[in-house]
Structure 1
């Protein structure tokens, strides 16, 4: 492999954004079919952090996928208006964060938890996508359960 395939650049970031995130989102969405009807509305979207600058970045280069200098991206779920019997309505948000390092990226539910670390362009096995999506959904169910327990 060329050195370019070992480090974060525009093509690597576009690959994650256009291929890996949608694949994970589709799997997660499929896992949420029993959860989303409990809420009035839901949104699962790709997000890109265009605020966090790399320590070695110049001050005048805007952070963007096009410039290949994004530090973080991921998926954000927003469930609004829980409609369960006996519980007041509430909203839930849940993230899946991709922290983009120089030669690898880390995937987890937040900046401090790493579920998997991968090289750029390293293929995701279907089982890996399924495992991450399932783990994320299990965490979400746990969050909702704790929220309900705190309300009753």
Structure 2
């Protein structure tokens, strides 16, 4: 049995510089109707440089260069919901890549995973679309819930 590739600088750079921007493009395509409801939006990459792997040196730098990042992802910030008769509000949603030693998972949070991939494994269009569609679907559910709460 062949060993799975390990989390390292090259794998993290590939995720951060290639996979996340391409995934953001797919998400953006699915967001057109939602974005129109808000005054402004931002979809940006996240990089967690605070979370340490258990048992590591507390003084060791956490970075892509060191290959020891535990989480990265995307954050969408929708600002200024604009609809007559509704109070303005903002909405934020994250998409998390939880970076294990030999693989990573993709989902809306640490507990829910939609996809598990080996490092340097190629993302095909179907994988991008599946994650983008599920994430935007959850965003629409969050928006609907927020509007229902405002109506009551």
Q: Normalized against structure 1, the TM-score is what?
A: 0.95
Using the TM superposition, give the Cα deviation of residue 58 of structure 1 relative to its aligned residue in structure 2, in angstroms: 1.7
User: 1: CA distance between counterparts of 2:107 and 2:124?
Assistant: 17
Using the TM superposition, give the Cα deviation of residue 83 of structure 1 relative to its aligned residue in structure 2, in angstroms: 0.2
| Pairs within 5 Å for 1:16-55 | 16-55=15-54
Using the TM superposition, give the Cα deviation of residue 60 of structure 1 relative to its aligned residue in structure 2, in angstroms: 2.0
| Pairs within 5 Å for 1:58-137 | 58-137=57-136
| Deviation per residue, 1:96-130 (Å, 9 max, x gap) | 00000000001000111111111001111101101
User: 2: CA distance between counterparts of 1:33 and 1:95?
Assistant: 18
Q: Aligned pairs, how many?
A: 150
Over aligned residue pairs, what C-alpha RMSD do you find?
1.2
User: 2: CA distance between counterparts of 1:60 and 1:139?
Assistant: 38
User: 2: CA distance between counterparts of 1:85 and 1:149?
Assistant: 15
**Unaligned runs of at least 5 residues, structure 1:** none
Using the TM superposition, give the Cα deviation of residue 59 of structure 1 relative to its aligned residue in structure 2, in angstroms: 2.0
Runs of 4+ in structure 1 off by over 6 angstroms are none
Q: Normalized against structure 2, the TM-score is what?
A: 0.95
User: 2: CA distance between counterparts of 1:16 and 1:101?
Assistant: 13
User: 1: CA distance between counterparts of 2:95 and 2:22?
Assistant: 13
Using the TM superposition, give the Cα deviation of residue 84 of structure 1 relative to its aligned residue in structure 2, in angstroms: 1.4
